[in-house]
Structure 1
Amino acid sequence: MPNALNLALKAEMRPGAGLLIPGAANALAARVIEEAGFRAFLVTGAGIANTFLGVPDVGLVSVTELAEHVAAMRDAVNLPMIADGDTGFGNAVNVGRTVRLLERAGANAMQLEDQTFPKKCGHFEGKDVIPRDEMVQKIKAAVDARQDQDFQILARTDARAVEGMQAALDRANAYREAGADMLFVEAPRSLEELAAIPKGAPGVHICNMVIGGKTPLLPAAELGAMGYAGVVYANAALQASLLAMQQVLGHIHRNGSIAGVEDRIMMFEDRQRMVRHDHYKALEKRYTLRDG
């Protein structure tokens, strides 16, 4: 039976669509994304590392921890989901297992990148990449491992920072030929480089708008006009919530009261609505035994 969310993601991800794709670090963030009206989201590996472990994005999250987060998000929302599979957690054989785990957990696509292990955030310095042919084999393994042919493989290259833009484009073309459904050239550094990517490596591309990162921040409409299918804000929600927590808790610590920052707090009723408290109250009522 066809997976409806796999098909929905394929329909949305077309060159020029400029689909906005926010990132979620946990199931609660995924609920906020769904409520806001977005049509797809990314499970952010950096976000999981930051929120779950309190560490930077340097390859410390395990594949089973990632799969558990994906499964929790799938239970929470009914949106197409792209899971960040980092480097696949090993060689081509490991990649196959990673694909199967994430597909079974409820992802509709998996991002696979060509960094060496341990990987680093795409906008950190000091990255390195594996040989292009090795990544080609990992992509082939990912394609072979998926159970549903509509489960998409998103191939990311970080070669721009290591080998230059032309090498990154060459890699993207090779990854598409190896079977990747979508492409992602990470961390271009100018408007000219952004525009060159969909032209130099035709296919279904996403780009990553990192607040404070190396890539110029452009509106989705402008990026769509360049040919991008998806525009990812992988950690905008995380950065916004982190700043709000810091500001509100700092205010409480300094003043001994919440007074003065109430407008930065979601009210109790809205919080319960966001986590569907009424749904669980109805379930409890439905299954409660009654005398007589």
Structure 2
Amino acid sequence: MAGLLGSSTPASEKRRKLRLGLDSGRLLRLPGAFSPLVAKLVAEVGFDGVYVSGAALSADLGLPDIGLTTLTEVAGRGAQIASATELPTFIDADTGFGEPMSAARTVTLLEDAGLAGLHLEDQVNPKRCGHLDGKAVVEPAEMVRRLRAAVAARRDPNFIICARTDAASIEGIAAAIERAKAYADAGADLIFTEALHTPADFEQFRDAVDVPLLANMTEFGKSELLTAAQLSEIGYNMVIYPVTTLRLAMHAVERGLREIDSAGTQSELLDQMQHRSRLYELLRYADYNQFDSDIFNFSLQGVTP
């Protein structure tokens, strides 16, 4: 029964595990999961945690990543994904959904939802995808207020609060480094610098900032796709692959739908599909059946029909 209807690991233990991982000196790998089912596969393959991307979440709702999702939507989906595995789940909280007080409430709700941590960014609200041009960032002092409010609202000290800065592509890497230092002083446990370009950029940031760092390896963006070995050698502590699973899935879905439209059948697509038996294995159908049989395997004694 353990972990069958939800995670058997308390959220506090997941947060402790993520905190220890950040302090371990090794690189934590967190693929993005746009659904609880994807999160189950992330866990089965053996990754260190699950990431919930704001871009993937908004796309799954049929919306662009421009700050249209609400805190309720993010907390609800985050809770579903966090409860699907024994891994810590780390989530994109955009700009905190408003003023500093809203960022504080965001921490409270996401902590209650079972998440292990979040990142807040220094973009102007409403934000834009970090790898698009035309972004704008708030003054460092405003982001510091946002972070201080978030840190003050935290109840579990192991809940990770990460500060993301989008300043590198707007003000330059030197300015982004200064922001990162100010954000760390404000209480951020982890720094996420968006849209760095080359390994040298990542190395420059690592050399200058003495706190754990997160790298975003998203496809088709501004960053060169570095391997886990490269990032580990540079000294990064966490890497996310935010939209990879959604892109893989949507490419396959589109290809399949066009095949059905043109051929009138899906028969030529069967070897590209996850088999029913594999899905049942991932969902632990046999364990549910055993649980059901154990619960209802009884007889009523002395009862007259």
TM range (shorter): over 0.9
Q: How does 1:102-141 map to 2 (within 5 A)?
A: 102-141=110-149
User: After the TM superposition, which of the residue ranges 227-236 and 247-256 deviates more from structure 2?
Assistant: 247-256
Quote the residue 2:287 is aligned against.
279
Quote the residue 2:5 is aligned against.
none
Quote the residue 1:186 is aligned against.
194
Find the aligned partners of 1:280 and 1:67 in 2 and give their Cα distance. Answer: 27
Identity of aligned residues (%): 36
Q: Which of 85, 88, 91 is matched with 2:96 structurally?
A: 88
Q: How does 1:165-184 map to 2 (within 5 A)?
A: 165-184=173-192
Decide whether the 8 Å contact of 2:95 with 2:121 is kept in 1.
yes
The amino acid of 1:152's aligned partner reads I
User: After the TM superposition, which of the residue ranges 10-19 and 38-47 deviates more from structure 2?
Assistant: 10-19
Quote the residue 2:253 is aligned against.
245
Query: Which string of whole-angstrom CA distances, capped at 9 and with x for unpartnered residues, describes residues 2-44 of structure 1?
Result: 9211111011124752222111122111111111111112111
Q: How many equivalent residue pairs?
A: 291
Query: Which string of whole-angstrom CA distances, capped at 9 and with x for unpartnered residues, describes residues 73-117 of structure 1?
Result: 122111011111110001110011000000000001111111111
Decide whether the 8 Å contact of 1:15 with 1:203 is kept in 2.
no
1:44 aligns with 2:53: yes
RMSD (CA atoms): 1.7
The amino acid of 1:29's aligned partner reads V
Q: Which of 205, 209, 218 is matched with 1:201 structurally?
A: 209
Quote the residue 2:4 is aligned against.
none
Quote the residue 1:62 is aligned against.
70
TM-score, L = length of structure 1: 0.95
Quote the residue 2:31 is aligned against.
22
Structure 1 pair 15–212 and aligned structure 2 pair: CA distance change class (3 A): farther
How far 1:278 moved relative to its partner?
2.6
TM-score, L = length of structure 2: 0.91
Quote the residue 1:143 is aligned against.
151
User: After the TM superposition, which of the residue ranges 267-276 and 202-211 deviates more from structure 2?
Assistant: 267-276
How far 1:182 moved relative to its partner?
0.4
Decide whether the 8 Å contact of 1:158 with 1:168 is kept in 2.
yes
Find the aligned partners of 1:2 and 1:189 in 2 and give their Cα distance. Answer: 35
Decide whether the 8 Å contact of 2:11 with 2:114 is kept in 1.
no
Quote the residue 1:234 is aligned against.
242
Decide whether the 8 Å contact of 2:123 with 2:138 is kept in 1.
yes
User: After the TM superposition, which of the residue ranges 115-124 and 93-102 deviates more from structure 2?
Assistant: 115-124
User: After the TM superposition, which of the residue ranges 25-34 and 173-182 deviates more from structure 2?
Assistant: 25-34
Decide whether the 8 Å contact of 2:104 with 2:153 is kept in 1.
yes
The amino acid of 1:38's aligned partner reads F
SS of equivalent residue, structure 1 residue 261 = helix
How far 1:248 moved relative to its partner?
1.5
How far 1:282 moved relative to its partner?
3.2
How far 1:290 moved relative to its partner?
5.3
Decide whether the 8 Å contact of 1:16 with 1:226 is kept in 2.
no
The amino acid of 2:149's aligned partner reads A
Asked which structure has the greater CA Rg, the reply is 2
Unmatched runs of 5 consecutive residues or more in structure 1: none
SS of equivalent residue, structure 1 residue 76 = coil
Unmatched runs of 5 consecutive residues or more in structure 2: 1-9, 301-305
The amino acid of 2:43's aligned partner reads E
How far 1:256 moved relative to its partner?
1.5
Find the aligned partners of 1:28 and 1:124 in 2 and give their Cα distance. Answer: 29
Structure 1 pair 204–15 and aligned structure 2 pair: CA distance change class (3 A): farther
